[in-house]
Structure 1
């Protein structure tokens, strides 16, 4: 009886190892750094429009931030020393899972950025790489605009 348990445990362990090995070799996303990526928009100031009362609106593209699952690039609108809009120009989207994660995480990250008025925002659970790329592109845009909180 004891030998049967050892044999069954060995089979289960072997099968588990094989499955984990396959998951490591074949990740669920097909868009990884180093592969073809969507062309990035030029980073830098897109426009500056003077407003009344000495206010101005500046629109800036952040650098495209490469992540494990694809690039993330943002466009930030700053009006009167406040971040008023954050638009996603590029996000991981090569597979169904990438699109689902982006659809879930990007609105949360956008709200966080508008609330924090900086790139110091929390990582969205389940979207660690996208969150990191979002922060890096956002910080790049804020640096280009010489934005300080």
Structure 2
């Protein structure tokens, strides 16, 4: 048992001697980096006497070098300086919460004539949706035709009229104003075709 202990101590001593020799000036610094507080084991003679139980008193000087401080990983990368000295950071993407506004345009249909006069319709389109309709011209030759034209206009035109509600020229005929209703639908359909074309 004592021989095994002496052999282990001898191996530790020879390793320490190697480390100390390599730590001499002009040699590699790898061997100098021992953990702080760990002293090398003392060298042991090649053939110890059987009655020596104490460890030898001579020790090689321990290489003292403070361990390197650990690098802490930073949570964000450090910006690298550019050639001009300004720091470069990655651009932050711009996010837009508002949707792009649709194009609003006004389209006028052709003049459609009937026995009572001319009818022409103009629509306002936002994107592909009709948002308003206006009768630019309606028959007004007589009081009766003016009254019927007013009925057609109030039923079809405006932002809350039948044209906006149905989003097309499929409109109900206004009672007593069949010719004006038909002319209105024709001019309206042509305006819708122009807006979509």
TM-score range, shorter chain: 0.5 to 0.7
Q: Which has the higher contact order (CA 8 A, sep 6+)?
A: 1
Find out whether 1:125 has 2:172 as its counterpart.
no
Task: Tell me which protein shows more helix as a share of its residues.
Answer: 1
- Distance (Å, rounded) in 1 between the aligned partners of 2:169 and 2:116: 21
Alignment of 1:54-93 (within 5 A): 55-93=102-140
| Deviations 1:79-120 (CA, angstroms, capped at 9, x unpaired) | 121111111110000111111111122111221111100001
- Distance (Å, rounded) in 2 between the aligned partners of 1:129 and 1:109: 14
- Distance (Å, rounded) in 2 between the aligned partners of 1:96 and 1:54: 43
Q: 2:165 aligns with which of 115, 120, 130?
A: 115
- Distance (Å, rounded) in 2 between the aligned partners of 1:126 and 1:145: 30
* RMSD (CA atoms): 1.4
Count of paired positions? 96
What TM-score comes out, normalization by structure 1 length? 0.61
Unaligned runs of 5+ in 2: 1-98
Out of 103-112 and 129-138, give the one that drifted further.
103-112
Alignment of 1:27-38 (within 5 A): none
Task: Tell me which protein shows more strand as a share of its residues.
Answer: 1
- Distance (Å, rounded) in 2 between the aligned partners of 1:139 and 1:105: 16
SS of 2:175's equivalent in the other structure is: coil
Question: How far off is 1:54 after superposition?
Answer: 5.1
Find out whether 1:134 has 2:184 as its counterpart.
yes
**Equivalent residues of 1:60, 1:75 under 8 A apart:** yes
